[in-house]
Structure 1
Amino acid sequence: MKVAIVGGTGYGSIELIRLLQMHPHVEVSAVVSHSQSDSALADIYPHVTGVLNYTLESMDIAKLKESIDLVFFATPSGISMKYAPEFIENGVKCIDLSGDFRLKNLDEYEQWYKGLPAPKAFVESAVYGLSEFYENQIKSASLIANPGCYPTATLLALLPILKRGIIDPNTIVIDGKTGASGAGRGLSLSTHYTELNDNVRAYKIGEHQHTPEMEQTIYAETNQLTKVTFSTHLLPMTRGIMCTIYAALEEPLSTADVLQQYRGFYQNKPFVRVRSEGNLPTTKEVYGSNFCDIGVHVDDRTGRVTIVSVIDNLVKGASGQAIQNMNIMNGWNQTTGLMQLPVYP
């Protein structure tokens, strides 16, 4: 199958290219970059020299729609909404790694993303690509709204016990931490080396654009309107997300009881790994992989549960989950091209 990647100079794009090189059913036929068209990929990312010989192309929908089967949009928000509809209308499937098609409420998109939303018909038809939960819908989708990195880590941790009424949804607190690659390759003061190194920074408190995405999905799965407390922090590391999540239990349960719920829920989901009691995951243990590792601790004294969820923000939080969704769309095994061991140490 022939695919194109739009947004060729970003971290999401180069991660898609890395992973798709190991996919037995896919050929990357075009890498599109408006800002760097006609440049060699190896000039922008020298680590691919001698391995990949792509020349970045400008966007030519007329050409691409005749030669490819699927487009990945690894672009900032506001880009895919301009191009994806024409591809879809011409029978080319699209997987969007940005937030353009995630929020069903268009007013919320304007509020949180500070821009005009995508056409309503395409937002409504887009399938939210949380692979472990929406496999049946993904199978028949033409447009996938790939989840954000924080929502992936958070929702995989919360939904199994929310759906079973184990925790009080109104007590959820999400403490998120991410590496600098989550901010993209562009320069900013907060990702400047001297600002980032030996430092931890809280950011977007109360205004992170992933907040409504999480609340929307919780409502879709539980039929409960929930407002979560979501705080994010930037750490001096390249990759990784850790979400430490706190909530009050609805009834007295042990750590073993809660872990049993997770194991039952994810027993046939190859990319979610539930840790044993007393074993909490770290970001290094999923580095470069499509795994989400989850650990749990119940505090009998406070009646609260703490859930620790870790992913690689560029893989399970973006490009890896996009490929997982592509596999589902095509009837291939979900793990095809994605079962690499994490890079360790």
Structure 2
Amino acid sequence: MQQPQAQTMASAAGITSGQIQKNRILGSNSKPFAGIVLKKPQQVGALPLHVRGSIASSPRKLFSPKAAAPKSGDGIRIAVLGASGYTGAEIVRFLASHPQFHTKVMTADRKAGEQFGSVFPHLRTLDLPRLVAIKDADFSDVDAVFCSLPHGTTQEIIKSLPRHLKIVDLSAVCSAHTIFTSLIWVRSRLLLRNYCLQDFRLRDINEYAEWYGHSHRAPELQEEAVYGLTELQRDDIRNARLVANPGCYPTSIQLPLVPLVKAKLIKLTNIIIDAKSGVSGAGRGAKEANLYTEIAEGIHAYGITSHRHVPEIEQGLTDAAESKVTISFTPHLMCMTRGMQSTIYVELASGVTPRDLYEHLKSTYEDEEFVKLLHGSSTPHTSHVKGSNYCFMNVYEDRIPGRAIIISVIDNLVKGASGQALQNLNLMMGLPENMGLQYPPLFP
């Protein structure tokens, strides 16, 4: 498919910000840090650009000049592997209103032959191809693939795909609670069964084998895979053929922590993360542990000291610090459908204040559309990002001197999975990275 060089977007206006108050933001005498004054809608060509309560990305970040965009009206043909799961359905939902991506192939082995609307009735009005088994999928008329398979066969499947395809792998965003109920001991470490793998996120195949108890099945692909935390790996993603989409917990944790670690504003020791996820992270499969009576009216921790996202988070923080970082991370399952909150406790570097953390995150993300620092003492709520690609965060001064608390929230199925995957493929195909993602959160 021929793709001429896409035109450069018009520059967006700058962002104004309020005065920063010099008071604490926690406690009875707290006064807020200044937040960010949002841009007014800007005119780009003949179309108004609406920010919708977020920070508009700069054209340099929204548009990828290194990959050619398709001709107007051509469209990019998409295959969705594992379309019958929650993340697959979210991708299909976003693709339905994407002006350039068109769904041509959808696979679901157990639902092969069925109409997608019978699997997900809320999407029955969409004109979509029938579901097929992966072995029957025809990739000859496909340009790019979203892989959202729940099983550890992802590496072998991706290895078998034609080399011309651009691939975003968001497999292994499976079963938060299944992890809790399906643990085994390997090499004196509590590990996951091989159907809950993060297939291409860990660069070190030896570390992969250590955590998962078997060797990597496509090491040659691991060498070319690019980690896809969009706001922090944008330049690498633009030129990638295979992107490993981050996990939900790592997304909510690394977005606030990586900039602070890079800037040496926090100590690398004693990073404590208390994270909570909705039940949709457990996938759609029928499991006794996920029955309403098993999870309702309660909360429980799982994967204590052994969750599969630990090495992924530590890999990102270690890269940022250029030295080994070890974290204390405990996830919890909440009785809610969507949403994820990570509450992060950090020790400040010498001479650093919580206000310095806020200011640095503000300067890092002020040109980003999907990452937003809240104003003053406002608390991020999972219900305020539901159904959207946003990450809301804020910084608070702890009552313990020399410490700060960071709260970060996302929708685990969108920014934690399908939304970020679409953001990445937009970049890979030379399109504005917010294309097809300009949905405000759904509330109530």
TM-score, with normalisation over the residues of structure 2? 0.75
- Counterpart check, 1:251 vs 2:350: yes
Pairing partner for 1:48 from 123, 142, 146: 123
How much has 1:325 moved relative to structure 2?
0.2
Pairing partner for 1:85 from 153, 159, 162: 159
Would the aligned equivalents of 2:374 and 2:392 in 1 still touch at CA under 8 Å?
A: yes
Q: What one-letter code is carried by the residue in structure 1 that aligns with 2:129?
A: Y
Distance of aligned partners of 1:200 and 1:291 in 2 relative to their CA distance in 1, 3 Å threshold: same
Q: Secondary structure at the match of 2:109?
A: coil
Would the aligned equivalents of 2:105 and 2:138 in 1 still touch at CA under 8 Å?
A: no
Would the aligned equivalents of 2:115 and 2:130 in 1 still touch at CA under 8 Å?
A: yes
Greater shift, 157-166 or 230-239, is seen at 157-166
In percent, how many aligned pairs have the same letter? 37
Taking the aligned partners of 1:227 and 1:88, their CA distance within structure 2 comes to: 38
Taking the aligned partners of 1:62 and 1:312, their CA distance within structure 2 comes to: 30
Taking the aligned partners of 1:115 and 1:30, their CA distance within structure 2 comes to: 31
How much has 1:56 moved relative to structure 2?
0.3
Pairing partner for 2:275 from 163, 176, 181: 176
- Counterpart check, 1:335 vs 2:335: no
- Which residue number in structure 2 is paired with residue 214 of structure 1? 313
Distance of aligned partners of 1:116 and 1:264 in 2 relative to their CA distance in 1, 3 Å threshold: same
Q: What one-letter code is carried by the residue in structure 1 that aligns with 2:168?
A: I
Q: What one-letter code is carried by the residue in structure 2 that aligns with 1:87?
A: L
Distance of aligned partners of 1:244 and 1:88 in 2 relative to their CA distance in 1, 3 Å threshold: farther
- Which residue number in structure 1 is paired with residue 239 of structure 2? 140
- Counterpart check, 1:16 vs 2:91: yes
Q: Deviations over 1:41-87 (max 9, x none)?
A: 122112222334431012247721x1100011011242221121232
- Which residue number in structure 2 is paired with residue 39 of structure 1? 114
Q: Deviations over 1:224-277 (max 9, x none)?
A: 201111100000000000000001001244433321111101122211001122
Q: What one-letter code is carried by the residue in structure 2 that aligns with 1:293?
A: F
Taking the aligned partners of 1:214 and 1:111, their CA distance within structure 2 comes to: 16
Distance of aligned partners of 1:278 and 1:255 in 2 relative to their CA distance in 1, 3 Å threshold: farther
Q: What one-letter code is carried by the residue in structure 2 that aligns with 1:255?
A: P
Write the mapping of 1:191-230 to structure 2, written as runs, cut at 5 A: 191-230=290-329
Q: Deviations over 1:130-170 (max 9, x none)?
A: 00011111111000000000000000010111111111111
Pairing partner for 2:146 from 59, 66, 72: 72
Taking the aligned partners of 2:170 and 2:271, their CA distance within structure 1 comes to: 26
Taking the aligned partners of 1:265 and 1:88, their CA distance within structure 2 comes to: 38
Structure 1 segments unaligned to the other structure (5+ residues): none
Taking the aligned partners of 2:357 and 2:315, their CA distance within structure 1 comes to: 24
- Counterpart check, 1:95 vs 2:168: yes
Q: Deviations over 1:195-223 (max 9, x none)?
A: 11100011010110000001111112221
Would the aligned equivalents of 2:156 and 2:218 in 1 still touch at CA under 8 Å?
A: no
- Counterpart check, 1:63 vs 2:138: yes
Distance of aligned partners of 1:62 and 1:293 in 2 relative to their CA distance in 1, 3 Å threshold: closer
Would the aligned equivalents of 1:177 and 1:232 in 2 still touch at CA under 8 Å?
A: yes
* Alignment size in residue pairs: 343
- Which residue number in structure 1 is paired with residue 63 of structure 2? none
**Runs of 4+ residues over 4 Å off in structure 1:** none
Taking the aligned partners of 1:252 and 1:289, their CA distance within structure 2 comes to: 37
- Counterpart check, 1:120 vs 2:120: no
- Which residue number in structure 1 is paired with residue 81 of structure 2? 6
Q: Secondary structure at the match of 2:168?
A: strand
Taking the aligned partners of 1:132 and 1:63, their CA distance within structure 2 comes to: 33
Q: What one-letter code is carried by the residue in structure 2 that aligns with 1:154?
A: I
Would the aligned equivalents of 1:293 and 1:311 in 2 still touch at CA under 8 Å?
A: yes
Distance of aligned partners of 1:173 and 1:26 in 2 relative to their CA distance in 1, 3 Å threshold: same
**Could you say what the CA RMSD is over the residues aligned between the two structures, in angstroms?**
1.5
How much has 1:175 moved relative to structure 2?
0.6
Would the aligned equivalents of 2:228 and 2:424 in 1 still touch at CA under 8 Å?
A: yes
Would the aligned equivalents of 2:414 and 2:420 in 1 still touch at CA under 8 Å?
A: yes
How much has 1:35 moved relative to structure 2?
1.6
Would the aligned equivalents of 1:255 and 1:296 in 2 still touch at CA under 8 Å?
A: yes
How much has 1:114 moved relative to structure 2?
4.2
Would the aligned equivalents of 2:91 and 2:418 in 1 still touch at CA under 8 Å?
A: yes
Q: Deviations over 1:290-309 (max 9, x none)?
A: 00111110226431110000
Taking the aligned partners of 2:248 and 2:211, their CA distance within structure 1 comes to: 16
Distance of aligned partners of 1:337 and 1:121 in 2 relative to their CA distance in 1, 3 Å threshold: same
Taking the aligned partners of 1:85 and 1:289, their CA distance within structure 2 comes to: 31
Q: Secondary structure at the match of 2:79?
A: strand
Would the aligned equivalents of 1:77 and 1:100 in 2 still touch at CA under 8 Å?
A: no
TM-score, with normalisation over the residues of structure 1? 0.96
Would the aligned equivalents of 1:255 and 1:277 in 2 still touch at CA under 8 Å?
A: no
Structure 2 segments unaligned to the other structure (5+ residues): 1-75, 172-197
- Counterpart check, 1:232 vs 2:331: yes
Larger C-alpha radius of gyration, 1 or 2?
Answer: 2
Greater shift, 254-263 or 204-213, is seen at 254-263
Taking the aligned partners of 1:321 and 1:183, their CA distance within structure 2 comes to: 19
Q: Which is helix-richer, 1 or 2? A: 1
- Which residue number in structure 1 is paired with residue 266 of structure 2? 167
Taking the aligned partners of 1:214 and 1:293, their CA distance within structure 2 comes to: 19
Would the aligned equivalents of 1:11 and 1:185 in 2 still touch at CA under 8 Å?
A: yes
Would the aligned equivalents of 2:80 and 2:148 in 1 still touch at CA under 8 Å?
A: yes
